[in-house]
Amino acid sequence: MEWNPQPLDAADVTVHRRGKGKPLVLLHCLGMTHRFWDVLEPLTDRYELIAYSFPGHGDTPLPAGQYGAPELTAQLRAIAQREGLATFHLAGISMGGSVAQHFAGTHPEMIDKLILCDCTPKYNEESRANWPARAGIARKDGVAALIPMLMQTFFTPPSVAENGPNVQFVRAAFEACSGEGYARACEMLAMVDAEAEARRITAETLIMLGSNERQAFKDAAVWMRANIPNARAVIEVPDAGHASVRERPSFCVDQFAAFLG
């Protein structure tokens, strides 16, 4: 895979803010948008939830070229400065969790508390080799061609069969996702390596993942617990897959609130 990341413009990003209290910045997963976090609405009486969509996702336009975790970190810093956020809580899931680790280790002075859900600082060799192939499918056939596989990863089989509102939301988000936007994000994930940054995180850190998460992410959670200096014990979200926050929102809201205080 050719790799030539380019700077990202914070001016491309629309920030969505709701609630009151200490700011909590939220970084979504691959193929989703800022609306992935709508299930955290019960927290708006004590935190200001701040979310935006990654490049080529939702209301953020496709960037001019490829981008990596350093470019996303620089973009988030510029967004925070524009929005008047000197310090804030930060939470990320999957792709958003990888970026959150890179940002929190690069700018530790800006993060009060950190929540990492279903993520890794660096994908294993098998996954890194697979990301360009997935990008190729998205470009050729659209994200819709990946949905059957993605839904089995994001949710447990009973939830997929039940097809409740959160499963429907995720499926619709994938259907609407730009194939090129998804592909560029896949290329970022093939290259992401935030292990050095993770070791520099100073914020108290909560690690969460679905109980039915894949082994690679369980291994990553163990690594993060051992290498992030102020990481807490790993919390498993019961009966949940990769989209744990969407599959078991009530449990996750309670965990977020208890951790953030």
Question: For the chain, which residues make up each domain, given as ranges?
Answer: 10-260
- Predicted local confidence at residue 251, as pLDDT: 98
In eight-state DSSP terms, residue 122 is B
What is the tens place of the pLDDT at every residue in 48-68?
A: 999 999 999 999 999 999 999
| CA-to-CA dists, residue 151 to 46, 144, 145, 163, 238, angstroms | 32, 11, 11, 10, 18
- Looking at domain 10-260, its CATH architecture is 3-Layer(aba) Sandwich (3.40)
Average pLDDT over residues 114-137: 97
- Predicted local confidence at residue 145, as pLDDT: 98
What is the tens place of the pLDDT at every residue in 24-50?
A: 999 999 999 999 999 999 999 999 999
Q: What pairs with residue 17 in β-bridges?
A: 50
Average pLDDT over residues 181-199: 98
Sequence-ordered alpha helix ranges (H) in 157-227: 157-162, 165-176, 179-191, 195-199, 215-227
Average pLDDT over residues 2-7: 97
In contact, 117 and 208? CB cutoff 8 Å: yes
Residue count of the chain, please give it: 261
- Predicted local confidence at residue 42, as pLDDT: 98
- Predicted local confidence at residue 233, as pLDDT: 85
